[in-house]
Structure 1
């Protein structure tokens, strides 16, 4: 499939897909006319890349990690090094902290929403000065 179709199928811009290729995250065959051609496997790869970006990993870390991940067509092509495992453990802890922060924020919003849903007491008119 061409880059436009991959963009359409994944919801990722063509510009981002070209960036992924430049960063070594995605590879394409070239047609005799120089157009990029991707296999069906590229859809899963792009979705995985997007998920890793969403988790806060940068392209360098993703490039190191991708070969260690199971692809749709088989097992990983490399094993994670001890250093990568340690870095990923730190990333996981960072994500856990973010989740905890988000849960606290949601609890605060829930409190406000609960209070807003309660009927307000009737307003009392100020006493007239006589």
Structure 2
């Protein structure tokens, strides 16, 4: 498939797809006219790259991880080294800390929202009677 179709099917810009190719994250063949020709599996690969970027990984680390990840075509093309496993463990721990920080922030916001909603609630008949006294 051509780069425009890949961009359309993944929601990723053509510019980003070219960058992925420059970084060795994505490969394509060439048509006789010199246009990029991506295999159907490139859609899954681009989605996986996007997921790894969303997790906070940078392109050089993604380039080292991708060959170890299972694709739709079967198995990984190489096994992860102990050093890569250690790096990935560190990344997972960083993501866990970020998730926990976000959950704590959400809890604080929930408390503020709850308190503000209670204070802003219209007074009921019993509350009005008490305020007259």
Q: TM-score, normalised by structure 2?
A: 0.89
1:39 aligns with 2:29: no
2:19 counterpart residue number: 19
1:89 counterpart residue number: 89
Q: CA deviation at 1:117?
A: 1.8
Which protein is richer in helix relative to its size?
2
Deviations 1:77-105 (A, max 9, x none): 10000000000000000000000000011
Q: Distance in 2 between matches of 1:40 and 1:107?
A: 43
1:99 counterpart residue number: 99
Q: Distance in 2 between matches of 1:120 and 1:20?
A: 56
Q: CA deviation at 1:5?
A: 0.6
Q: Distance in 2 between matches of 1:88 and 1:120?
A: 52
Q: CA deviation at 1:54?
A: 0.6
Q: Distance in 2 between matches of 1:120 and 1:105?
A: 28
5+ residue gaps in structure 2?
Answer: none
Indicate the SS of the match to 2:93: helix
Q: Distance in 2 between matches of 1:94 and 1:23?
A: 24
Q: TM-score, normalised by structure 1?
A: 0.91
Q: CA deviation at 1:120?
A: 6.1
Listed as ranges, the matches of 1:1-130 within 5 Å are 1-118=1-118, 119=121
- CA distance change for structure 1 residues 58 and 76 in 2, over 3 Å: closer, same or farther? same
RMSD between superposed Cα atoms in Å: 1.7
Number of residue pairs matched by the alignment: 125
Q: Distance in 2 between matches of 1:39 and 1:116?
A: 54
Moved runs in structure 1, 4+ residues, more than 2 A? none
